[in-house]
Amino acid sequence: MLVREFRLHDLKRVFEIEKMSFSEPYDVNILKQLHNIGAGFLVVQENSYVIGYIIFWVKELDKGHIISIAVDKNYQKINAGSKLLDTCINIFKSFDIFKIALEVRANNHIAISFYQKFGFKVSEFLPKYYENGDDGLAMILEL
C-alpha cells in the first residue's frame, strides 16, 4: 500500500470513491478546485489502484483542517484510512501545526470511533450542520 500525492488523472477515481462514501458528495469540480488552490491532497493505492484519499488544509498558522477522507468500501478493512490519516498528521507536524480540526456527522459512529483512535476529541455539537439537516460534531486533535 502506497500513499502519494494526488495527480489530476486520479480525479475520476477519487470522485467515484467520494460518491460511494457520502450522501452529499463534493462535486467533481470542487475536488479539482481544492487541488488547484493548493489543498493537501493524498491518495492511497493498492497495486497501482487508487483505493482512498484525504484532503486537508492549513486553516490558520497553527491549525490544520481535514476536509475529507474516504476509502473504497471494498478496501476498508486493510487500514488504508489509518495510513492516510497518519500520513496527514505527520505532514501537519512537520509544519508545526499543533491542532487539527474536522467535522463529522453526529450519527456516523464508525467515523467518530476511527478519529477517536487517533486521539481526536469532540469539541462542539453542530446542530443541522449538513445540507440535509443532519447534525454534526466538530472534533479536534491536539498534537
Give the whole-angstrom CA distance, residue 90 versus residue 82.
12
Percentage of residues in the chain having pLDDT higher than 70: 100
Let me know: does 68 contact 54? Beta carbons within 8 Å: yes
Domain coordinates in residue numbering, the chain: 2-142
Residue 92 scores a pLDDT above 80: yes
Q: Which residues pair with 69 in a beta bridge?
A: 54
Q: What is the pLDDT of residues 6-24, one digit of tens each?
A: 999 999 999 999 999 998 9
Its sign, for the CA torsion 11, 15, 21, 24, is positive
Q: What is the pLDDT of residues 101-130, one digit of tens each?
A: 999 999 999 999 999 999 999 999 999 999
Q: What is the pLDDT of residues 47-80, one digit of tens each?
A: 999 999 999 998 777 899 999 999 999 999 899 9
Which CATH number does the domain 2-142 belong to among 3.40.50.300, 3.30.70.1450, 3.40.630.30, 3.40.30.10?
A: 3.40.630.30
Give the whole-angstrom CA distance, residue 141 versus residue 131.
25
Residue that is written with C-alpha cell 450519527 in the block: 107
Give the whole-angstrom CA distance, residue 49 versus residue 31.
19
